[in-house]
Amino acid sequence: MKILFLNTNIGYGGASKMIVWVANQCAEEGYDVTFITYRESDVNQYMSPKIKYIHFNLENGGGITLKGLSTIRFLRKYIKREAFDVAVAFLPPSQIRLSIACLGLRTRLLYSYRGDPFHKGETLKLKIFKIISNWFFSFADYYVFQSNGAQKYFSKAIQNKSIVIPNPINRIERTVKRSGNVERKIVCVASLDLYHKRQDLLIEAFIKIEKMYPDVVLELYGDGDKRDKEVLYKQSLGHPQIKFMGKMDASSIVEHIQNAAIGVLSSDSEGIPNALLEYMSLGIPSVSTDCSPGGAAMLIKNNVNGLLVERGNASALAKAMSYMLDNVEKAEKMGMEGMKVVDDYSEKKIKSQWMSVLN
């Protein structure tokens, strides 16, 4: 089978991580895999040497512009010449380009929806783009969703040719044992993003309880755009217990977060949250908002392997963090229960589901 994977770039985000992971699994299975990017050329995820990786610097921005049309023309010629059996895309810019490029061709389209279709509050421009991208999304032959909630947003026609496949997680190896080494800190690993990740909510919640726990710090790992960072830095002024740790690679982050008292996800919207999976895999007691469209709720059994709170509610988040800090034994028990998530979302199980869909 010849498979084409298309993405704008190979960045640090969850969608890039997963599309490269699926491509790697296909290559290891012996499929003929090509991966094309058409914006940034940096490769920030491991890619199997068995994959034919091609980067064409055809665009320097988003949207269907003249540069976007040049991408579509290139893709159509390339796909016709190479006669791919399947073309895969995870994000709207690539799905739009593939839908147009493959019109009338035999190549089958497999699209995965990685975000939250229910999320509100976009600008008019983003609302128009969402309508357009959802229309081109409907051109695919089959679909993969991360959660049942996201799947149910779409029409019955799309639901009937789709499957829910969550993200995989491998057990992450610790560098230091947890017992006797728990640190009085709360960690959050996510891009600094006021719209989805909501570190502003987490900072607000932490400020509510910081005087109760003068020995506890909040560490925020990740980077973001200039505006979001400025807002978060301003919000944290005068609160020295809040620390911005910057962006780190996966191996470095493990060393820093593995013995944190709590791992927090404060998002309004997520697919299957990779950060939450990683906290739980490491045995870190986890607190998460019940982010739309239900990915966190798939992972956390409330009061069993973590705490799930109403999204957008800083007081509820503060109360949950306070509970974990006050009830260390119960928190550690939840952390141990959380480690079982690795068995439910093992790479072996998730790979089998993806290979079945592609076949």
> For residues 115 and 117, what is the distance between their CA atoms, to the nearest angstrom?
6
Over range 181-185, report the average pLDDT: 96
Over range 295-324, report the average pLDDT: 96
- Which DSSP state fits 211? G
Check residue 304 and give its pLDDT. 97
349 belongs to a structural domain: no
351 belongs to a structural domain: no
Radius of gyration of the chain (CA): 21
Place of tokens 């600008």: 123
Using a 10 angstrom Cβ sphere, with 0-12 exposed, 13-18 middle and 19 or more buried, the burial of residue 277 is buried
Are 152 and 249 part of one and the same domain? no
Check residue 65 and give its pLDDT. 66
Are 334 and 201 part of one and the same domain? yes
Residue finishing a domain among 101, 135, 164? 164
Residue finishing a domain among 106, 134, 164? 164
Are 39 and 76 part of one and the same domain? yes
**Per-residue b/e over 261-273, b at no fewer than 16 CB within 10 Å?**
bbbbbbbbbbbbb
Q: Which CATH number belongs to the domain containing residue 141 in this structure?
A: 3.40.50.2000
> For residues 111 and 95, what is the distance between their CA atoms, to the nearest angstrom?
7
Let me know: does 286 contact 280? Beta carbons within 8 Å. Answer: yes
Check residue 61 and give its pLDDT. 56
- Between helix 274-281 and helix 328-338 the angle, nearest 10°, is 110
Over range 158-180, report the average pLDDT: 90
Are 303 and 224 part of one and the same domain? yes
- How many folded domains does the chain comprise? 2
Check residue 120 and give its pLDDT. 64
Structure tokens that stand for 104 in this block:
């009338």
- Which DSSP state fits 320? H
Residue finishing a domain among 164, 191, 214? 164
Between 146 and 63, name the one with better pLDDT. 146
In sequence order, the 6+-apart residues with CB closer than 8 A to the CB of 45 are 10, 12, 16, 17, 20, 21
Are 340 and 300 part of one and the same domain? yes
Between 62 and 80, name the one with better pLDDT. 80
Are 158 and 20 part of one and the same domain? yes
217 belongs to a structural domain: yes
358 belongs to a structural domain: no
Are 130 and 277 part of one and the same domain? no
Are 316 and 286 part of one and the same domain? yes
Are 133 and 190 part of one and the same domain? no
| Domain residue limits at 265 | 183-344
Check residue 84 and give its pLDDT. 98
316 belongs to a structural domain: yes
Quick one: pLDDT band at residue 60, thresholds 50, 70, 90?
low
Supply the pTM of this predicted model.
0.76
59 belongs to a structural domain: yes
Are 38 and 94 part of one and the same domain? yes
Over range 151-177, report the average pLDDT: 91
211 belongs to a structural domain: yes
Structure tokens that stand for 345 in this block:
């979302």
Does 113 have pLDDT greater than 80? yes
Over range 253-278, report the average pLDDT: 93
Check residue 226 and give its pLDDT. 94
Let me know: does 164 contact 148? Beta carbons within 8 Å. Answer: yes
175 belongs to a structural domain: no
Supply φ then ψ for residue 94, to 5 degrees. -75, -35
Check residue 121 and give its pLDDT. 61
Are 219 and 113 part of one and the same domain? no
* CB half-sphere exposure, 114, CA atoms < 13 A: 22
Does 62 have pLDDT greater than 70? no
Strand, coil or helix: 227: helix
Alpha-helical (H) ranges within the chain are 14-28, 66-82, 92-101, 124-137, 148-153, 156-159, 199-209, 226-236, 250-257, 274-281, 295-299, 314-326, 328-338, 341-344, 347-358
In sequence order, the 6+-apart residues with CB closer than 8 A to the CB of 139 are 99, 102, 109
Are 121 and 263 part of one and the same domain? no
Over range 76-80, report the average pLDDT: 97
Share of the chain above pLDDT 70, in %: 97
Quick one: pLDDT band at residue 93, thresholds 50, 70, 90?
very high
Structure tokens that stand for 131 in this block:
């309508």
